[in-house]
Amino acid sequence: MKFELLSRDASARRGRLHLGHGIVETPTFMPVGTSATVKTLTPEELRSARTQILLANTYHLWLRPGRDVIVDAGGLHRFMAWDGPILTDSGGFQVFSLRERRKLDDDGVTFRSHLDGSEHRFTPESVVAFEEALGVDVAMVLDVCVRLPAEADELEAAVTLTTRWAQRAAAARTREATALFGITQGGLDERLRERSARDITALQFDGYAIGGLSVGETREEMERAARFCAELLPPERPRYLMGVGTVRDLIAAIDCGIDMFDCVYPTRCGRNGRAMTRAGEFHIRNAAYVRDFGPLDQACGCSVCQTFTRAYLAHLFRSNEMLGPRLLSYHNVFMLNRLMEDARNAIERGDWSRFREGITQRAFPAAPENLASREHPIT
C-alpha cells in the first residue's frame, strides 16, 4: 500500500491511495456492503455511481456465509463480484453493541450471534486472520469501542486494551497485500485521545482510523474531537473517520484533515425514502411529490435523476415497490461520491474554504432519529 498526499488546503487534504485492487482518490466515501452486498445495488451500479472502494463487515460475514464459503469462492472480491478495493471493519463496533450478548476479557471477546445464538470469539489474531483470508485490501484491527457518554475509567480501560490488541494484531499480520489500519479510541477525553494516538501510531500501521465517534455524542462534540484527533495522526498516512456519512459531517470531517469515511446512511436513507442532496434531505413519500414531475435532484446528473421523476419515485415508495429503494440508494451513493469528487477538486484548486461554506451555509434538516447512522449496528 502506498499513500500520496497530493495537496492541502488549510487542513483539508487531497491524496491518493494505491491498493491491491486499484487506486482510491481521497477524500473518499466508502458505501457499506455489510453482508457482501451494498443493499439493493449491483457492483456494476456501484462503479457507475463512481464508487472507488467498499466497506464490508467482518462481524456479519464471519457469521454468514462464514469464512470457508468466501475462501472457497476465491476471496471476498470474487464472492461478491466486486473487483475494486475493499476495506473490512474489525467487527469490534458491532460486537460491543451487543451489550447483553458478549463477554469481554483481556484476550478477546466472546459473543452470541444475533442470527442463531451460536457462540463465537474474536481475538485480535482471529480477526486479522479472517480479514486476510478474505483477501481484502485494507483490514482494520480489533478495537474496543465504547458508547458515549461513558465513565472515565471505562474509556481509559478501552484505550488500554485497544492498544494491547493493536500490538497483537500488528504482530499477527501475515499478508502484505492486505494493508492494516490501527484504530484510535478515547471518546471525548483529549488526554485519552492523545495517549491512544501516541500508542497506536507508534505501531506503524498503514493508516489510522478515528474510532469511538458518531456513537451518541452531539455533532459539535464529534467535530471538535475529530479535529483534535486528526492533528495527532502522522500526515503521511491516510486518516479514516469511521461511521460518518451525512453531507454536513463529511464536509466538516474533510475540513479536519480526514481522508476516508464510511456509513450506512445513504443506503439506509435510500431504503427508507429519504433523498439526499447537497441542499438538504427530503422524504419522497411526502404528499408534495405525488405530482412533482421534476427529477429527484435538479443538480444531480445520475441515471436516476436523468430517467425518473419524483412522482414516479413517490409512487414506487407508496406502493412498497422494491425499485424505489434501489433507485434512491443509487442516487444517494452517487450524490456522495460526486460530493467527494468536487471536494477533491476544490482542495486541488485551493478553493476548499469557499466550497465548504457554499455547502454548509444551506439548511440541512437533521436526519430523523431512526436513520441515525450508528443506531442499528447489527441489522
- Name the residues that contact its own copies, by CB under 8 A: 35-37, 39-44, 64-65, 69, 72-74, 79-81, 290-291, 293, 307-309, 311-312, 315-316, 318-319, 321-323, 325-327
Residue 51: closest CA among 30, 33, 82, 78: 30
Q: From the candidates 199, 255, 262, 297, which is the catalytic residue?
A: 262
Measured from the CB of residue 326, what is the shortest distance to its own copies in angstroms?
7
Active site residue 143: no
Measured from the CB of residue 79, what is the shortest distance to its own copies in angstroms?
6
Measured from the CB of residue 316, what is the shortest distance to its own copies in angstroms?
6
Provide φ and ψ at 12, rounded to 5°: -70, 140
Beta strands in 158-316 (DSSP E): 179-184, 207-210, 239-241, 260-263, 274-277, 280-283
Measured from the CB of residue 195, what is the shortest distance to its own copies in angstroms?
39
The SS3 of residue 3 is strand
Active site residue 89: yes
CA distance 241 to 244: 7
Measured from the CB of residue 253, what is the shortest distance to its own copies in angstroms?
29
**Shorter beta-carbon distance to its own copies: residue 139 or 316:** 316
**Shorter beta-carbon distance to its own copies: residue 40 or 162:** 40
- CA–centroid distance for 222 within its chain: 15
CA distances from 360 to 133, 151, 165, 291, 324 (A): 42, 33, 38, 30, 28
**Shorter beta-carbon distance to its own copies: residue 80 or 230:** 80
For residue 167, which amino acid is it? Q
C-beta neighbour count of 79 within 10 angstroms: 19
Q: Do the bridges between strand 12-19 and strand 207-210 make them parallel or antiparallel, or are there none, so unpaired?
A: unpaired
**Shorter beta-carbon distance to its own copies: residue 74 or 350:** 74
Residue 344: closest CA among 3, 52, 4, 9: 9
**Shorter beta-carbon distance to its own copies: residue 110 or 309:** 309
Measured from the CB of residue 263, what is the shortest distance to its own copies in angstroms?
19
Q: From the candidates 89, 137, 206, 297, which is the catalytic residue?
A: 89
C-beta neighbour count of 297 within 10 angstroms: 21
Provide φ and ψ at 27, rounded to 5°: -65, 145
**Shorter beta-carbon distance to its own copies: residue 319 or 370:** 319
Kind plus residue range of the DSSP H or E element containing 225: helix 219-230
| Exposure on the CB side of residue 253, measured as CA atoms within 13 A | 30
| Residues annotated as part of the active site | 89, 262
